[in-house]
Amino acid sequence: MEDLREKYLSLISGATDEASLENLRVQAVGKKGEISLRMRSLGKMTPEERQEAGPALNALKDEVNSALVARKSSLSDAALEERLKGEWLDVTLPARLARQGSIHPISQVWGEVTEIFADMGFSVAEGPQIESDWYNFDALNIPGHHPARAEMDTFYTYRDQDDDRPPHVLRTHTSPVQIRSMEKIGAPLRIICPGRVYRADYDQTHTPMFHQVEGLAVDTDVSMANLKWCLEEFVKAFFEVDNVELRFRASHFPFTEPSAEVDIRCNWSGGQLKIGEGDDWMEILGSGMVHPKVLHAGGIDPTVYQGFAFGLGIDRIAMLKYGIPDLRAFFDSDLRWLRHYGFNALDKPGLVSGLSR
Ligand code: DAH
């Protein structure tokens, strides 16, 4: 019995895989295994012999069985270990930077502008792109006969001939949101409205659909100086430089009095567009003190409140900031252009983290 014990315990500890271990099990304690046969022979023994051999054989069988189990588990641990070594993955590797998509420069600039004005206490307002002519024109002090209506190259919606209601228009500017916001919020208020606007116009700096941000601040103590400060702060923050040369030009809009247009110094030479240098000026916004009639149309008492307003071309300032010479490329959906001018989708513009990277 001692021989059997030594033989199997050493064979088991020497087994190198689960298949040979299974063979050993059959050979030792299987139905016809060496130890099982011994146990079967107990019947032929005298009761005295059996009393001694029985427990000893049982103990041997138990010992062999537990050696089998122990070896099996250490073999499978080793096999697992081996497999894991092969499947090891270095999770510290940086993610692959190949980007599938990117943020369009318009969306990027939209986000940057919103971030800057939010910091000055402006909240974001919205209005419909298909607008009634009252909100788009009349409420903004542009009556039916006013030349501004013709100048705007408006897209009108279709009405049946016997329908004498005025047609809706694709809004020609974001200014109607001024009226809608005054109606909804009342005074005081401070809002910006970024959005799409439409005009029948097409060249290097004009497309039939483009983007504006409207700004409106109404309170009891608002002046042109506040407007000028706000716009200068904005331009510095947006272009991420301390000095950008601005030109405030006296102008005329029906909805502001007085009115000013703002141009920015730039250079177009060599098919490149650069800000802050050169002899060219690019108009980026219209602005002024809100006309009393406009406040009145928005339900606000012009004898108590004043306001300043501005309308800024998002596409224009995107062209200037990112050196994009042709506006039409924004809307071509050319993947090569988007890959070149697009922004990382994971970099959200922020005043603390940086507007653009
Ligand atoms: N709505 C004007 C346009 O589209 C821009 C504008 C000028 C907006 C003066 C304003 C403003 O709010 O005060 O040309």
Residues 111 and 82 in one domain: no
Task: Please report whether residue 45 resides in a domain.
Answer: yes
Residues 209 and 317 in one domain: yes
- Using the predicted structure, report yes or no on whether residue 357 has a pLDDT greater than 70: no
Distance between Cα 327 and ligand 1 center (Å): 20
Q: What is the Cα–Cα distance from 21 to 36, expressed in whole angstroms? A: 17
For a mutational test of ligand 1's pocket, the pick from 122, 226, 231, 253, i.e. the residue with the most ligand atoms closer than 8 A to its C-beta, is 253
Atom of ligand 1 nearest to the CA of 216: 12
Residues 315 and 195 in one domain: yes
Distance between Cα 259 and ligand 1 center (Å): 9
Residues 7 and 129 in one domain: no
CATH number at residue 255: 3.30.930.10
Distance between Cα 119 and ligand 1 center (Å): 22
Task: Please report whether residue 351 resides in a domain.
Answer: no
Distance between Cα 267 and ligand 1 center (Å): 25
State the chain's mean pLDDT as an integer: 91
Beta-ladder partners of 343: 103
Distance between Cα 254 and ligand 1 center (Å): 9
Residues 80 and 110 in one domain: no
Residues 81 and 202 in one domain: no
Closest CA relative to residue 34, chosen from 13, 55, 10, 3: 3
Structural domain range at position 9: 2-86
The predicted model gives 221-246 an average pLDDT of 90
Atom of ligand 1 nearest to the CA of 288: 13
Task: Please report whether residue 350 resides in a domain.
Answer: no
Residues 74 and 117 in one domain: no
The per-residue pLDDT for range 119-172, each reduced to its tens digit, is 999 999 999 999 999 999 999 999 888 877 776 789 998 888 888 888 899 999
* Protein residue whose Cα sits closest to atom 12 of ligand 1: 310
Contact 209, 331 (CB under 8 A): yes
Residues 180 and 239 in one domain: yes
Residues 64 and 183 in one domain: no
Residues 223 and 116 in one domain: yes
For ligand 1, which residues put their CB under 6 angstroms from it?
173, 175, 214, 253, 256, 286-288, 309-311
Domain count, the chain: 2
Residue 210 CB contacts under 8 Å (≥ 6 apart), including other chains? 196, 197, 198, 199, 313, 314, 315, 327
Residues 262 and 126 in one domain: yes
SS3 for 156-186 is ECCCCCCCCCCCCEECCCCCHHHHHHHHHHC
The per-residue pLDDT for range 67-122, each reduced to its tens digit, is 999 999 999 999 899 999 999 888 887 777 666 788 999 999 999 999 999 999 99
Distance between Cα 27 and ligand 1 center (Å): 96
Atom of ligand 1 nearest to the CA of 214: 12
Residue 164 is predicted with a pLDDT of 86
Residues 29 and 137 in one domain: no
